[in-house]
Amino acid sequence: MEHENLVKFIGLVFHDKYIYLVTEYMSKGSLVDYLRSRGRQHISRKDQINFAYDTCCGMEYLETKKVIHRDLAARNVLISEDCVAKVSDFGLARDERYTGDSSKLPIKWTAPEALKEGKFSNKTDMWSFGILLWEIYSFGRVPYPRIPLADVVKHVGSGYKMEAPEGCPPEIYEMMRQAWDLVPEKRPTFAELKRRLYNCKRETANTYVT
């Protein structure tokens, strides 16, 4: 797989009993660290929509290839020198419609049907993308900040959805809410959100024209 919003795989190095995975160098580190270290003073609305759009483009490509990432989160999106966001860490990726163990997955980023039944699809990735959007617009806060980890599954299963982060545009929050629909089939596709995010990106660019 190769796409401008996926971290590029270069090759493998076999040395003694070790195997080294070589990828392109992403000089600005993970998206979550980037958001936390710079915060509201240095990250603009334009930066936020660009990160969201870039990540969605990478995920839409995976969607067309029928690949499930299974561990999408801001910590697994890396930022290049020219501030392009790229999806990385494919250690848990599987073919479409995978059913398997979910015990090692991060509860706060994983869709209810994956946690309860071990069912994964591009729709479970969409749930995670909704959480990632929340991370972007909260400048890297940990999701469900006021709910103990042990209670997250119960709250989410009963229909609880996080509130919009401070300053989050209504149209972006609506995308989050749709991504967190308890019925997987009702969640949007990455292709749909890519179009909507592109429109937001254009509007934001026009707003920030100097």
- In the prediction, which pLDDT does 208 show? 59
Closest CA to 100 of 110, 88, 87, 108: 110
Task: Give 178: exposed, middle or buried? Use CB within 10 Å, 0-12, 13-18, 19+.
Answer: middle
State mean pLDDT over 6-34.
Answer: 94
Q: What is the pLDDT of residues 179-203, one digit of tens each?
A: 999 999 999 999 999 999 999 999 9
- In the prediction, which pLDDT does 93 show? 64
Full-model pTM: 0.92
Rg (CA), the chain: 17
Q: What is the pLDDT of residues 79-130, one digit of tens each?
A: 999 999 999 987 676 766 556 565 678 899 999 999 888 889 999 999 999 9
- In the prediction, which pLDDT does 205 show? 82
Residues with catalytic annotation? 71
- In the prediction, which pLDDT does 26 show? 95
Residue 210 clears pLDDT 50, i.e. is over it: no
User: How far apart are the C-alpha atoms of 184 and 67, rounded to whole Å?
Assistant: 16
Q: What is the pLDDT of residues 33-43, one digit of tens each?
A: 999 999 888 99
Strand pairing report for 94-95 and 67-68: antiparallel
| Fold category of 9-207 in CATH | Transferase(Phosphotransferase); domain 1 (1.10.510)
Q: What is the pLDDT of residues 125-180, one digit of tens each?
A: 999 999 999 999 999 999 999 899 989 999 999 999 999 999 999 999 999 999 99
- Return phi, psi of residue 108, to 5°: -70, -15
- In the prediction, which pLDDT does 1 show? 85
68's tokens: 């499930």
Which residue ranges make up each domain of the chain? Answer: 9-207
